[in-house]
Chain A
Amino acid sequence: GQNIDQPTEMTATEGAIVQINCTYQTSGFNGLFWYQQHAGEAPTFLSYNVLDGLEEKGRFSSFLSRSKGYSYLLLKELQMKDSASYLCAVRAFSGNTPLVFGKGTRLSVIA
């Protein structure tokens, strides 16, 4: 089976740094994705990790440890517009396999 866990809600202050964790247990592993989703909108792609380590892209970074089944998304210099849900998703196999999503973490950025 597939199981992806992430915290339900988080709150952080504007300008601060926040780390959103994701743990997964899947029958296979062919990449981990992070998406941002604002209410009523479709998810937008943030990052993709398939090898262990840190991927940095501007204010956003994502880390993966395959041996631990663990990833995190790091958001720096938080802005109010970063208030959204952040979805962790795993692709178990290569080829035409879909992503399996976690329940998402609702991040609220406060002044």
Chain B
Amino acid sequence: GAVVSQHPSWVICKSGTSVKIECRSLDFQATTMFWYRQFPKQSLMLMATSNEGSKATYEQGVEKDKFLINHASLTLSTLTVTSAHPEDSSFYICSARDRDIPDTQYFGPGTRLTVL
């Protein structure tokens, strides 16, 4: 089956530093990946849509200069949380659509970010 990986699975960083999270589709090509954020006991909130070779589309209220998204290849998208603050602590999950099976959306295992 289709596999999406995320790295790292968890990270702890100091306030003010930047953290990069990678999302990879391991056995399929993904022209589109989505980044979600989930706070404890809440649902997934879409942050942005990442399209290979073009700029990401951000949801209302999500700062594009703070959450930098790069989708440089058909198997990799990265989310960089710049100048992280404690309120950015959350569970970040990516999902990827198989280019050849458009109705699919496979989720990565998530990255737990804790900002001290």
Binding site for B on A (CB under 8 A): 31, 33, 35, 40-45, 48, 87, 94-96, 98-104, 106
Is B34 a contact of A98 with CB atoms below 8 Å?
Answer: yes
Contacts of B34 in A (CB 8 A): 98-99
User: With the chains together, A40 CA to B40 CA distance in Å?
Assistant: 9
B97 proximity list for chain A (CB < 8 A): 96
- Chain B's closest residue to A48 (CB) is B103
CB distance from A51 to the nearest CB of B (A): 13
B51 at interface by CB-CB < 8 Å: yes
Collect the chain B residues with CB atoms within 8 Å of residue A102's CB. Answer: 43
- Distance, CA A86 to CA B91, complexed state (A): 17
Given A40-B112, A42-B93: A98 in contact with B107 (beta carbons within 8 A)? no
Q: Which chain A residue has the least Cβ–Cβ distance from B91?
A: A40
Q: What are the interface flags for B84-116 relative to A under an 8 Å C-beta threshold, 1 for contact and 0 otherwise?
A: 000000010101010000110111111010000
B residues sitting closer than 8 Å to A (CB atoms) are 31-32, 34, 36, 41-46, 49, 51, 91, 93, 95, 97, 102-103, 105-110, 112
A31 to B104, CA, bound (A): 11
Q: Contact check: which of A31, A96, A98, A103 meets B43 at CB < 8 Å?
A: A103
Establish whether residues B109 and A96, one from each chain, have CB atoms under 8 Å apart when the complex forms: no
Residues on the B chain within 8 Å of A41, using CB: 109-110
- Given known A48-B103, A99-B105, contact A87–B43 (CB-CB < 8 A): yes
What are 20 contact pairs spanning A and B, CB under 8 A? A33-B105, A43-B44, A43-B107, A44-B107, A45-B105, A45-B106, A87-B43, A87-B44, A94-B102, A95-B102, A96-B32, A96-B49, A96-B97, A98-B46, A99-B95, A99-B105, A101-B43, A101-B45, A103-B43, A104-B42
Q: How far is the CA of A27 from the CA of B3 in the complex (A)?
A: 31
Q: Are A101 and B44 in contact (CB under 8 A)?
A: yes
A106 to B42, CA, bound (A): 10
In whole angstroms, how far apart are the Cα atoms of A94 and B105 in the complex?
12
Residues from chain B with Cβ under 8 Å of A98 in the complex? 34, 46, 49, 95, 105
Q: A31-B103, A98-B34 are in contact. Are A42 and B43 (CB under 8 A)?
A: no
* Interface contact B51-A96, CB-CB below 8 Å: yes
